[in-house]
């Protein structure tokens, strides 16, 4: 019978298989290795999103390690960077540099959990240095069977969901953290966005509502911009912090300018281009949507 639990089980199996595939892509050097492993990583991120949906309806299925607060985001990000660096050395056959990369990481990392992952990788690399290549299929098969399932992404998947964006208002009274993959990043040229921001358009990064966590909420004020749209802004400095829309109650939009540093994804399209400021010219090749609804495809 199809239940949240059966879906949960299937997704766990799918994640384990994908993770195993990532290890094999690395071991078989399936070119382009890095891109291929990243593709698997993207698929795993999607599965992880699906699992979150399952936990929303069946919280008892959520594993213990996901219940911890998301304090590991920086560690996840740093480890991912070092893992890719080390895997590039490994692919080039320079196992010593790969080991050194993880050793360097261990000296920088404060989280014991993440240091353990790196130590495990060092051990795996050291073992690999000592072994000769399998000479026939049977050996290769035996060697593969000895490998633990899920060597590549599993450690990262066990860590809490990474925080992908942090930011806040101008004065610092309100701060936010957004976890998980953004749903979309778009440029909105509608009249509301123009007047509310005072700029030609607003770049919106939308996240699952539960992915947004706020501090300093006492300093937030609310403006009902339309029947459906509520604008949340800092009552001290006036910065726009996020917007919610009653028609899309699971999503919030964060203005990209409030996010610090790199955006978690690049803008993918322009919307409401028929309403854009006459004095503004769109100079990129992103798809454009407009018309009365703001969402009809336009000839660029």
CB 224 to Zn ion: min, Å: 15
* Chain centre distance of CA 54: 18
- Residue 234 binds to Zn ion (criterion: CB under 5 A): yes
Binding span for Zn ion by CB under 5 A among 4-12, 61-69, 169-177, 241-249 = 169-177
163, 188, 252, 258: which one binds Zn ion (CB under 5 A): 188
Could you tell me what percentage of the chain is helix, strand and coil, using 3-state DSSP and rounding each to the nearest 5? 50, 20, 30
CB 171 to Zn ion: min, Å: 3
CB 229 to Zn ion: min, Å: 9
Cβ(210)–Cβ(204) under 8 Å? no
Own/partner long-range contacts of 72-75 (Cβ < 8 Å, ≥24 apart)? 72/111, 72/113, 72/114, 72/159, 72/160, 72/162, 73/160, 73/162, 73/163, 73/164, 73/177, 73/179, 75/109, 75/110, 75/111, 75/113, 75/114, 75/159
Binding span for Zn ion by CB under 5 A among 57-65, 232-240, 249-257, 282-290 = 232-240
The secondary structure of 104-152 as a DSSP string is HHHHH---HHHHHHHHHHHHHHHHHHHPPPP-SHHHHHHHHHHSPS--S
Among residues 68, 70, 83, 71, the alpha carbon closest in space to that of 23 is found at 83
When the beta carbons of 23 and 244 are compared against Zn ion, the nearer one is 244
How many residues touch Zn ion (CB under 5 A)? 9
CB 130 to Zn ion: min, Å: 58
Neighbours of 227 (CB within 10 A): 7
171, 246, 277, 300: which one binds Zn ion (CB under 5 A): 171
236, 263, 265, 269: which one binds Zn ion (CB under 5 A): 236
Find the binding residues for Zn ion in span 87-146 (CB under 5 A).
none
When the beta carbons of 95 and 199 are compared against Zn ion, the nearer one is 199
- Residue 190 binds to Zn ion (criterion: CB under 5 A): yes
- Residue 169 binds to Zn ion (criterion: CB under 5 A): yes
- Residue 237 binds to Zn ion (criterion: CB under 5 A): yes
Task: Give the binding site for Zn ion (CB under 5 A).
Answer: 169, 171, 173, 188, 190, 193, 234, 236-237
């Amino acid at each position: 019978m199809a239940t949240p639990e059966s879906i949960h089980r299937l997704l766990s199996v799918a994640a384990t298989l994908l993770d195993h595939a990532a290890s094999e892509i690395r071991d078989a050097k399936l070119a382009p290795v890095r891109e291929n492993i990243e593709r698997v990583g993207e698929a795993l991120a999607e599965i992880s999103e699906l699992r979150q949906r399952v936990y929303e309806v069946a919280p008892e299925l959520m594993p213990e390690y996901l219940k911890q607060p998301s304090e590991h985001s920086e560690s996840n990000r740093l480890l991912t960077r070092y893992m890719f660096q080390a895997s590039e050395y490994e692919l080039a056959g320079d196992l010593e540099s790969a080991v050194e990369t993880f050793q360097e990481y261990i000296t920088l990392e404060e989280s014991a959990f993440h240091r353990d992952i790196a130590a495990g990788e060092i051990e795996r690399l050291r073992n690999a240095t000592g072994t000769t290549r399998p000479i026939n299929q049977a050996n290769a098969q035996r060697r593969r069977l000895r490998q633990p399932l899920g060597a590549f992404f599993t450690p990262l998947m066990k860590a809490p969901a990474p925080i992908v964006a942090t930011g806040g208002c101008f004065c610092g009274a309100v701060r936010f953290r957004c976890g998980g993959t953004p749903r979309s990043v778009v440029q909105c040229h509608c009249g509301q966005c123009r007047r509310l921001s005072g700029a030609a358009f607003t770049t919106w990064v939308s996240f699952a509502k539960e992915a947004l966590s706020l501090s300093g909420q006492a300093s937030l004020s609310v403006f009902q911009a339309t029947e459906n749209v509520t604008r949340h802004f800092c009552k001290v400095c006036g910065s726009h912090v996020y917007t919610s829309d009653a028609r899309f109650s699971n999503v919030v939009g964060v203005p990209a300018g409030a996010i610090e540093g790199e955006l978690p994804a690049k803008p993918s399209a322009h919307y409401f281009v028929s309403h854009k400021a006459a004095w503004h010219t769109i100079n990129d090749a992103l798809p454009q949507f407009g018309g009365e609804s703001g969402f009809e495809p336009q000839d660029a």
